[in-house]
Chain A
Amino acid sequence: MVEAHAGEGFELIAVAVDAQGADKPRLYMERARATFTCVVDAPNLLSRTFGFKAVPNGVLVDATGKVVYQRFGGFDIREPETRELVEAWLRTGSATGAESTSPTAVDARVSALFEEGLTLLRGGRVARARAKWRAASTLDPNNYVVHKQLWSIENPEKFYGEHVDMAWQKEQLARGL
């Protein structure tokens, strides 16, 4: 879709909300043979600025820099309604095909603990980083930016094997982990 509309001044920026840095996103982007720009939000800037607790999210911005549509949670460009919305917007400049959704409020204490963990992780203090993230996730288990990041670092085989093991995640939630 990006290539189809490239001549019309349309750009896609993919933001990987991966605390562990560029390696995992790079792998996915290479596998997908993606040609669009992908940035990594290792400092947790967008989750804190836009205020979201989960992905996937999509935000449409017009040429003046104004947000015209946002969907937090469940944004999937392969979904017909979403694809239609974006294509209609590119054609007509109007993004009224679907309702925007707001992100759920992020607890500032959770963000602070999460970001302390990010700093520790980058300094190689993995155990201490995990402790910070555990504390953050205990405050708000529904903050999936924190919760899934914690799971993936403690159980990499459930995420980076053949596929992301969603059944395992459901079981963890049921067990309150």
Chain B
Amino acid sequence: MVAGEEIQEGKMTIGAMVDELLPAATLPALDGTAVDFATYRGKKLLIFMWASW
């Protein structure tokens, strides 16, 4: 279980992640290359989530 994660009656609740380690994630960049968030250790990172809609 990821730190800060609670399961409550069918609902997945992610508590505040502040002061927790960022959960692992690897996603494809627009050019198809894999981007692993863990490789950004050592940097100050801003993750900005948006959508075309």
Contact = CB atoms under 8 A, between A and B. Distances in A.
A108 B10 CA distance: 6
Contact of B44 (A41, A89, A108): A89
A28 to B, nearest CB: 6
Q: Chain B interface: which size bin? A: 35 or more
A65 interface: yes
Chain A residues touching B, majority SS? mixed
Given A15-B27, A39-B29, A61-B22, A111 B52 contact: no
B35 A58 contact: no
Interface string A37-55: 1111111011011111001
Interface string B24-47: 010111100001011011111111
A12 interface: yes
B50 A56 contact: yes
Interface in A152-177: 152, 159-160, 164
B26 to A, nearest CB: 8
Given A62-B44, A159-B53, A70 B12 contact: no
Contacts of B53: 18, 148-149, 151-152, 159, 164
Interface string A94-113: 00000010110111110100
B13 A105 contact: yes
B14 to A, nearest CB: 3
B49 A58 contact: yes
Contacts of A64: 41
A75 B44 contact: no
B30 A38 contact: yes
A111 B21 contact: no
Nearest to A40: B28
Contacts of A9: 42-44
12 contacts: A11-B45, A11-B46, A16-B50, A17-B50, A40-B28, A63-B42, A67-B18, A75-B48, A106-B11, A108-B12, A148-B53, A149-B53
